[in-house]
Amino acid sequence: MRTATPRRYLMCPPAHFRVTYAINPWMDPTKPVDSALALFQWEDLRDRYRALGHTVEILDPEPGLPDMVFAANGATVVDGRVLGARFANPERAAEAPAHLAWFRAHGFTDVQEPEHVNEAEGDFAVTSTWILAGQGFRSSPLAHDEAQEYFGRPVISLELTDPRYYHLDTALTVLDDARDEIMYFPGAFTPGSRAVLSRLFPGALLATADDAAVLGLNAVSDGRHVVLPRAATGLHAPLRDRGFEPVPVDLSELHKAGGSVKCCTMELRPATP
């Protein structure tokens, strides 16, 4: 039987969310976005987390930063230590200092501004043994070394090849961090990285192209409940077979910017005693 452990998340409401530029293939600035619906869907996600017993902290959204709702990109927090982000695209650059200011104002004392480009939990996935790190589109491989040095945890570099899966968290989900269990879409990775994943995670749930294409891997697990995009129905049976409970949510409007559940959710991992 699977056990959920209570989590602490940081989220940022999509008050200024729009698609005004295109920095990934999902974004089309000519397509309309329903802002009221985006906010309603985001609130539903926040409320689900709270109903599952998790704590959700709120980061104030800033005008002129339409992608700030994707809070997972703003910093990586492991053992209570914060590694800030450095965005690949100038459109999002100002999100990084906004995140750093939040951490400094909320009692985090180990806060590091990074030297190399890293889009935080967009490309860093944390299990108890490893930090899995994506590169190829956004984060620099140099940021992988930087994260390893800062957190003192082994970082496994993985190379992404498909522009639709430009962040690691669009292609891979940590299902049980304590037991190093993941699911991923092999087609998003180079052959070498696929081989690394199958060596490290021989029992992983392999997602189909269809579930990946609805951003089904952009999911958040507490060890038992897997909150995932509503359209990723193909993942329900394999998740249930492994003892997880799928919790579908609809984030159709944020999907138009290439993001979903995980992108909206930064995990604040406490110092371990």
DSSP string of 184-240, one letter each residue: E-GGGB-HHHHHHHHHH-TTPEEPPHHHHHTTTTS-EESSSEEEEETT-GGGHHHHH
258 binds ligand ARG (CB under 6 A): yes
Cα-Cα-Cα-Cα dihedral of 90, 256, 26, 223, to 10°? 90
For the chain, state the CA radius of gyration: 17
Q: Which stretch binds ligand ARG (CB under 6 A): 32-40, 108-116, 235-243, 256-264?
A: 256-264
What are the beta bridge partners of residue 267?
9
Residues 193-232 that bind ligand ARG (CB under 6 A): none
263 binds ligand ARG (CB under 6 A): yes
Q: Which stretch binds ligand ARG (CB under 6 A): 3-11, 40-48, 177-185, 253-261?
A: 253-261
Q: Which stretch binds ligand ARG (CB under 6 A): 28-36, 70-78, 93-101, 141-149?
A: 70-78
Residues 93-132 that bind ligand ARG (CB under 6 A): 122
**Among 242, 234, 121, which residue's Cα sits nearest to residue 173?**
121
Q: CB nearer to ligand ARG: give 85 or 205.
A: 85
72 binds ligand ARG (CB under 6 A): yes
Give the contacts of 97 (CB within 8 A, at least 6 positions apart).
none
Nearest-angstrom CA–CA distance, 229 and 119:
21
Q: CB nearer to ligand ARG: give 2 or 229.
A: 229
E-strand stretches of 93-143 = 111-112, 124-126, 131-135
**Which listed residue (54, 144, 167, 225) is catalytic?**
167
42 binds ligand ARG (CB under 6 A): no
Q: CB nearer to ligand ARG: give 2 or 131.
A: 131
Active site residues: 167, 263
